[in-house]
Structure 1
Amino acid sequence: MRELRIHGRGGQGSVTAAELIAVAAFQGGVYAQAFPAFGVERRGAPVQAFVRFSNEKIRLRSQVYEPDYIIVQDSTLIADINVFAGMKAGGIAIINTEKAGKYSAPEGVSIITIDATKIALEEIGLPITNTALMGAFAAATGEIEFSALENALKERFEGKLATTNIKASQRAYEMIKGGSA
């Protein structure tokens, strides 16, 4: 089983990202589970969402404490929260930031930085970074195929909203695959 923990702020779409990544993984032929951690969250407050991937049925229902992957939607969280807590060696951390190379992760963890905010503003017109980061996740990890992610986005959104979110996701995917993030 592989596990993803998403760190974001209320209103950034962390829960939606977890759900759509799980849908794409399921469409790709693996079992997947997505769920949020809720407390007294409000817009702008730190939130977490989780995804599990497995070739077998998933019976575990706890939060993700030792992720293989993390996505950090807002890099300012790193100063307040240990987003790297429990990360497994060989893991991948995807951080939304325009400042590449600024972060240090635990030994054996790779950091990928991408300016998902810039992509979201240019493609969607809003600083909602979740779909761009989902594209980066697909490219960096191989856990989900881009075509499955695209289908999940089409199922969730309609019309122009679907088109712009797919463009943001595809642009991030291509940046990570091409190594120009």
Structure 2
Amino acid sequence: MRELRIHGRGGQGSVTAAELIATAAFKSKVYSQAFPAFGVERRGAPVQAFVRFDDKKIRLRSQIYEPDYIIVQDSTLIKDVDVFSGLKEGGIAIINTEKDLEAGLPEGVKIIKIDATSIALEVLGLPIENTTLMGAFAAATGEIEMAAIEEALKERFPLPLAEKNIAAAKKAYEIVKGGSA
């Protein structure tokens, strides 16, 4: 089983991203599970969402404490929350940032930095980077196929909005695949 933990702030679409990633994984013929962890948080407060992937049915229902992957939607969370907690050695951390983050990063983990906010602003016209980070995740991990992301987005959003989100995800996918993230 492989596990993903998404760190974001309320209102950034972390829960939606987890649901869409799980849907895309299922469309890629993998069992998947997505769920949030939040209480009375409000817009802007730290939130987490989780996704599990496996080739067999998933019966585990606990939070994810030792993920293989993390997505950090807001790099300011790094100083406020231990986003790297439990991240397995050899794991992948995808961080939405244009800044240099060398200090305080864990060893033995692949760090992928991508300016998903700029991509979202350019393509969507809004700083909502959850679907952009889905493309980066697909490219970095191979857990989900880009075609499956497209299907999931078309199911979730009306066509014009789905097409914009697909374009943002594809742009991030190409940047990560090309190694310039």
Same fold (TM over 0.5): yes
Deviations 1:58-99 (A, max 9, x none): 111010000000000000000001100001011000000011
TM-score, normalising length: structure 1: 0.98
Aligned to 1:73: 73
TM-score, normalising length: structure 2: 0.98
Residues 53, 103 of structure 1: CA spacing in aligned structure 2 closer, same or farther, 3 A cutoff? farther
Task: Show the 5 A alignment for 1:94-133.
Answer: 94-133=94-133
Question: Is the 1:98–1:114 contact (alpha carbons within 8 Å) kept by the matching residues of 2?
Answer: yes
Task: Show the 5 A alignment for 1:12-51.
Answer: 12-51=12-51
What letter matches 2:128 in structure 1? I
Partner-residue secondary structure (3-state), 1:8: strand
Residues 103, 111 of structure 1: CA spacing in aligned structure 2 closer, same or farther, 3 A cutoff? farther
Residues 167, 103 of structure 1: CA spacing in aligned structure 2 closer, same or farther, 3 A cutoff? farther
RMSD: 0.9
List, as ranges, runs of 4+ consecutive aligned residues in structure 1 with deviation greater than 6 Å.
none
In structure 2, distance between residues paired with 1:152 and 1:100:
32
* Aligned-pair CA distance for 1:103: 4.9
What letter matches 2:96 in structure 1? N
What letter matches 1:80 in structure 2? D
Residues 137, 103 of structure 1: CA spacing in aligned structure 2 closer, same or farther, 3 A cutoff? farther
* Aligned-pair CA distance for 1:106: 2.2
Partner-residue secondary structure (3-state), 1:5: strand
* Unpaired stretches in structure 2, ≥5 consecutive residues: none
* Unpaired stretches in structure 1, ≥5 consecutive residues: none
Query: What is the identity percentage for the equivalent residue pairs of Structure 1 and Structure 2?
Result: 76
In structure 1, distance between residues paired with 2:101 and 2:10:
26
* Aligned-pair CA distance for 1:104: 4.1
| 1:177 has 2:159 as partner | no
How many matched pairs? 181
Partner-residue secondary structure (3-state), 2:133: helix
Question: Is the 1:100–1:114 contact (alpha carbons within 8 Å) kept by the matching residues of 2?
Answer: no
